[in-house]
Structure 1
Amino acid sequence: MRTKHIAVKLKDWMQAVVAVALVSTLVACGGGGGSNNDSSTTLNGGSLPASPTQQPIAATAANTVPITVGQGVSGVVNIPTVSVTICAPGSTSNCQTISNIQVDTGSFGLRVVNSVLNASLLNALPVSTIGGSGAQLAECATFADGFTWGTVRTATIAIGSERTTAAIPMQIIGDKDSSTVPTSGCGSGASENTAGDLGANGILGIGTSPNDCGNTCANAGTAATFSNYFACPGGVSCARTAVPLAQQVANPVAHFPADNNGVIVQMPPLPATGAPSATGTLVFGIGTQSNNALTGVQSFTTDTFGDLNNSVFQGTTVQAFLDSGSNGYFFSDSSIALCGSNFAGFYCPSSAQTRSLTLVGLNNAQTSASIGILSAATLFGNGNNFAFNDLAGQIGGSGSFDLGLPFFYGRHVYYGIDQTASGGQTPFVAF
């Protein structure tokens, strides 16, 4: 997840920048079906690639739920959200449905802000413990733009008609005092422990990994340096700890009784200057129902965490990833002008830009994906728009290329969950 916030409040956008009226559509086919490559679009002396045109299916089947992009809880752009129901372990009555949970294919596991849960449910979610002393288990989940800090608890999770077979580990964000944040191993970037900080009430990580850290945190040798889990005896003095896979924050989809091998994120096409909102569909399972067949797409096997590590941008090998939890494209290109302080970190080219990236899977499948970029100042000129398919910003270093939510508009993007531990499928993405 990489969600860049805007330095000015949304209600002040119209006062901060002058809107430029532009018409057309954007984003290119990267190897899947449903694209429209008849022509590109010229804007302000530059050009945008032709847009993919796939529409989401109706979210009416039992294995589907609607995805909504809009103003959300704090007016952050390009935040795709769903509703998630959380139940106390073993209960079908002590439950609460939480809206505005961000759909994040770049992370793994459910994280919910403590303040949005009612006291009855929160108190009924048991805090996980680790070690013989029964130390409280907490996690510092780090993202590109900050971190979340809170306890690991167990709960039964339902999304639409799909429900985990038992209680699974999840993170409760912000339920521990800031004074307990470890001084070593946590705290990189800003703390994101409120809904306002996150731009959502929580994060639903449903990418290719079945849990959020894997063997790095399970192995004592690597956990001592790299674990994002902490043992907190008496709830304080938190220190890094190794955590077995079964106690790590878990991808809920992998724990559904059926439709548990992956997801499809389907978003509608958008005009180049954005839209007030967008409604897509999250489909559970791949090849398990008539509505989730893996057909008409190109598949790329990935590492456990969904990364395409041999991709190429401007002659340099990069780690590329398709991340619905990032609200823009994020990559390094010194030839594109950056915005001023009002939109710090975003690109503000004087004319429309097109860039191409070669995506390469571990199976050696490859394709060229073209993306379009418009000035963030132009896009944010209309403070009523919250969905954009050509918003881009800078990422630190030149080794990564983040294909964020703009890439998803007009596409069906598949994520196959890593099942190699049980002799099943290797992780993959497809579109």
Structure 2
Amino acid sequence: MRTMQSAVKLRGWMQAVVAVALVSLVAACGGGGGSSSSSNNNNSSTTLNGGSLPASPTQQPIAANAANTVPITVGVGVNGVINIPTVSVTICPPGTTSNCQTINNIQVDTGSFGLRVVSSVLNSSLLQALPISPIGTNSTQLAECATFADGYTWGTVRTATVQIGGETTSGAVPMQIIGDMAAGTVPAKGCGSGSAENTVSDLGANGILGIGTAPTDCGATCANASTAATYSNYFACPGGTSCARTAVPLNQQVANPVANFPVDNNGVIVQLPPVSNTGQSSATGTLVFGIGTQSNNALAASQTFATDGYGDMNNSVYNGTTVQAFFDSGSNAYFFADSSLALCGSNYPGFYCPSSAQTRSITLAGQNSTTASVSIGILSAATLFGSTSNYAFNDLAGQIGGNSSFDLGLPFFYGRHVYYGFDRTSTTGQAPYVGF
């Protein structure tokens, strides 16, 4: 569910990640229990059908019992969407610890930046206490159209103090309230071309916690008036209507909350356990704040890759073609282009349904010349979705529009510790990186 940092960065993902909406229908047909075993040996000859899968990674998450940790849950969630990792987030009005509310089922999205919460899940008293950010000299309301691969969210930009686990932002930070403005206020020009995702049902979660490498969700593109006029995600809405694109200073842009913690603010580690190759009902991991700041968050990655400001490895290679690769917990499958893999029929459009288990490899390349080959496994989506009580899958894959991107979605995270070092170059700090 990777957000578009600006229109310049828009990718051809619309067809592929429509899977998020599709699977909410598939998985919702299920029910019942299902195994939560972490075995990776469920490779029956029927499932593999003469094919093979690579060995699964086996790292386990640390216990989420320290202040700089919070549990991650992958399960049925709010709407039966598969491979949606979620955490709980507490929101308070600026300058007070009263009238706060803890919101569960907030999606962990390393492919976007900033906190976004659906307005309907907030208590009315809290919603009213969160001030709408003004823009310009006339206190015009600020709103945002955040564009994702499968749609867009529309709503006001407000400020709040945010707590996740035992960490709290140093002060109030800008966030988006999704769906608090009438549908008729959505700008006819400049907002996303996909479907509106302004409800819990449409979004598949109560909100999105964007914790990728960037400290804000648009950066210089939206801060600079000359580029903002064409590419800004932000809109000035006098009286809440007649919304028009506007430039927004960095300190008013929707912000990565973790980058605004007083400590443990230089990155995150996403840790999920291994899961069965045929899927399982749920998985529980840990989101760790900070890298190298505490005894429980040392940088222990086998490979680290310098990235651009958005966490992309732009010199990676798949099938002899240079691609932009990225680790995105907000995508519920691997998404890439490969004409040798059979697509599913109309029941599961956009997913791959090979007749036998498949292994594919991509060479990841960072801007620091670090390279590493990674192998991923792929089972037929039709086979995986045959168990309607399972919500955690490590070998689900789908098609992406074009062949210039390779989305290593949530399946990549199972059995791994995946690191995101935040971009601090604007303050002469660390350059952004990812690792595992």
TM interval, short-chain normalised: over 0.9
> Partner of 2:258: helix, strand, or coil?
helix
Partner of 2:21: 5
| Partners of 1:270 and 1:410 within 8 A in 2 | yes
| Selected match of 2:71 from 53, 66, 69 | 66
Amino acid at match of 2:124: A
What's the RMSD between the two structures over aligned residues? 1.7
Distance of aligned partners of 1:296 and 1:107 in 2 relative to their CA distance in 1, 3 Å threshold: closer
Distance of aligned partners of 1:25 and 1:395 in 2 relative to their CA distance in 1, 3 Å threshold: farther
Partner of 1:390: 395
1:240 counterpart = 2:279:
no
| 5+ long unaligned stretches in structure 1 | 15-22, 28-40
Q: CA deviation at 1:24?
A: 4.3
1:146 counterpart = 2:148:
no
Distance 1:228 1:81 in 2: 25
Distance 2:28 2:306 in 1: 43
| Partners of 1:42 and 1:48 within 8 A in 2 | no
Distance 1:213 1:301 in 2: 20
Partner of 1:34: none
| Partners of 1:13 and 1:380 within 8 A in 2 | no
Amino acid at match of 1:88: P
Distance 1:239 1:25 in 2: 55
Partner of 2:5: none
Q: CA deviation at 1:25?
A: 4.8
Amino acid at match of 2:216: N
Partner of 2:96: 91
| Selected match of 2:408 from 403, 406, 409 | 403
| Partners of 1:116 and 1:201 within 8 A in 2 | yes
> Partner of 1:10: helix, strand, or coil?
helix
Distance 2:404 2:132 in 1: 38
Partner of 1:277: 282
Distance of aligned partners of 1:25 and 1:180 in 2 relative to their CA distance in 1, 3 Å threshold: farther
> Partner of 2:52: helix, strand, or coil?
strand
| 5+ long unaligned stretches in structure 2 | 3-16, 32-38
| Partners of 1:26 and 1:49 within 8 A in 2 | no
Amino acid at match of 1:247: Q
> Partner of 1:183: helix, strand, or coil?
coil
Q: How does 1:32-431 map to 2 (within 5 A)?
A: 43-431=48-436
> Partner of 2:29: helix, strand, or coil?
helix
Query: Which segment drifts farther, 332-341 or 368-377?
Result: 332-341
Amino acid at match of 1:144: A
Distance 2:90 2:346 in 1: 39
Compute the TM-score of the two structures, normalised by the length of structure 1: 0.93
Partner of 1:36: none
Distance of aligned partners of 1:11 and 1:325 in 2 relative to their CA distance in 1, 3 Å threshold: closer
Distance 2:28 2:247 in 1: 45
Distance 1:341 1:245 in 2: 44
> Partner of 1:216: helix, strand, or coil?
helix
Q: Once the two structures are superposed, what CA deviation does each residue of 1:97-117 show, in whole Å capped at 9, x if it has no partner?
A: 000000000000000000000
> Partner of 2:22: helix, strand, or coil?
coil
Distance 1:347 1:328 in 2: 10
| Partners of 1:26 and 1:372 within 8 A in 2 | no
| Partners of 2:318 and 2:362 within 8 A in 1 | yes
Q: CA deviation at 1:10?
A: 2.6
Distance of aligned partners of 1:62 and 1:26 in 2 relative to their CA distance in 1, 3 Å threshold: farther
Distance 2:265 2:131 in 1: 25
Q: CA deviation at 1:343?
A: 1.2
Amino acid at match of 2:339: S
Distance 1:70 1:13 in 2: 12
> Partner of 2:184: helix, strand, or coil?
helix
| Partners of 2:267 and 2:290 within 8 A in 1 | yes
> Partner of 1:321: helix, strand, or coil?
strand
Count of residues in correspondence between the two structures: 411
Amino acid at match of 2:122: L
Q: CA deviation at 1:154?
A: 0.2
The ranges of structure 1 where at least 4 consecutive aligned residues each deviate by more than 4 angstroms after the TM superposition are 23-27
